[in-house]
Structure 1
Amino acid sequence: MKVTINRWNAVSTWHWGDTRDEVCGICRVAFEGTCPGCKYPGDDCPLMIGECSHAFHMHCLLNWLSTEASRGLCPMCRRRFQTAKAVE
């Protein structure tokens, strides 16, 4: 028996592969979305991943780090926040 495909509708999904999290640890919005201060996903709201593997929207993290209470620490694990090295 031979089958002929007349029409094919493909569907795909994507996710940030460098992190174990699915939502921002600060605003709790999915990374596929944007932080509360942005309108559109994409370049305006990139992902920031720390050496501790916790990930945040850039704007959420910058706002967090600018507060006196943060003391430069990751809001999830309280280690000194350092961005992870880029994988080439």
Structure 2
Amino acid sequence: MKVNITKWSSVSTWHWDVNEECCGICRMQFDYCCVDCKVPGDDCPPVWGTCNHAFHMHCILKWLNSNQQQQCPMCRCEWQFKSDQK
């Protein structure tokens, strides 16, 4: 007996590997996009600071551009992007 597949529909899910549930700036979950984006995914990834706090990339960039002091919004230590992202 031979079976021919005529149609295949695949479904998958994904999520970011982040210890925190949501961005500390916009309060949206990391599996969703920030308030400036329309579609979640690689265009709106989470980024970590050396203090290990994570934010949407767009949120932390907007935060840093709007403040003269380059500090983490959560712990107020000097903000530096973590070089070895998870």
What TM bracket, shorter-length normalisation? 0.7 to 0.9
Q: Percent identity?
A: 53
Q: Does 1:16 align with 2:33?
A: no
* Gap runs ≥5 in structure 2: 1-10
- Distance in structure 1 (CA, Å) of the matches to 2:43 and 2:67: 25
Does the 8 Å CA contact 1:23/1:31 hold for their aligned counterparts? yes
- Structure 1 segments of 4 or more deviating over 6 A? none
Alignment of 1:39-78 (within 5 A): 39-68=38-67, 71-78=69-76
| 1:79 corresponds to which of 66, 77, 80 | 77
The one-letter code matched in structure 2 to 1:68 is: N
* Gap runs ≥5 in structure 1: 1-10
- Distance in structure 2 (CA, Å) of the matches to 1:87 and 1:31: 15
Please give the TM-score of this superposition, normalised by the length of structure 1: 0.74
The one-letter code matched in structure 1 to 2:56 is: H
Paired residue total: 76
Q: How much does 1:84 deviate? A: 1.3
- Distance in structure 1 (CA, Å) of the matches to 2:30 and 2:85: 19
